[in-house]
A = this chain, B = another copy of it.
Amino acid sequence: MIGHRTWAIAEGYIPGGSVSESRELQSHEAACVLNATDWDASVEITLYFEDREPAGPYRFKVGAKRTRHLRFNDLADPEPVPRDTPYSSIIISNVPVVVQHTRLDSRNTHIALLSTVAFPVEG
């Protein structure tokens, strides 16, 4: 069984501006979730902020032997993710998954990218 059930991403920030409105080049953050198991994954994301209570959980599914590149920009229920605001996230799945965090920043004419594997939590 490949992965962990709990992951943390300490860095989070969706730039409010974008040089392009095309979905591909819009400033965004994504959590890429790989579920290599034979069972569908039920995943919950909780968001942490600097000066308010956490938001969530945001719930979504990742099918067995499927990946999902989830954009934080698209989260809407229970509330949208504020732009230009630092946040962190905890991701909990009922089956082991692998999580990687990526941001595409297109504020300033040309894009910049960052990515890192999320932090896997034991247990």
Oligomer copy total = 4
Whether B115 lies near A86 (C-beta < 8 A) is no
Whether B10 lies near A6 (C-beta < 8 A) is no
Q: What B residues does A35 contact at CB under 8 A?
A: 48
Secondary structure dominating the interface of A: strand
Whether A119 lies near B107 (C-beta < 8 A) is no
Whether A11 lies near B115 (C-beta < 8 A) is yes
Number of A residues with CB within 8 Å of any CB on chain B? 60
Whether A34 lies near B10 (C-beta < 8 A) is yes
Chain A interfacial positions (CB closer than 8 Å to B): 2-3, 6, 8-13, 15, 20, 24-25, 30, 32-36, 48-51, 53-54, 65-69, 84, 86-88, 90, 97-121
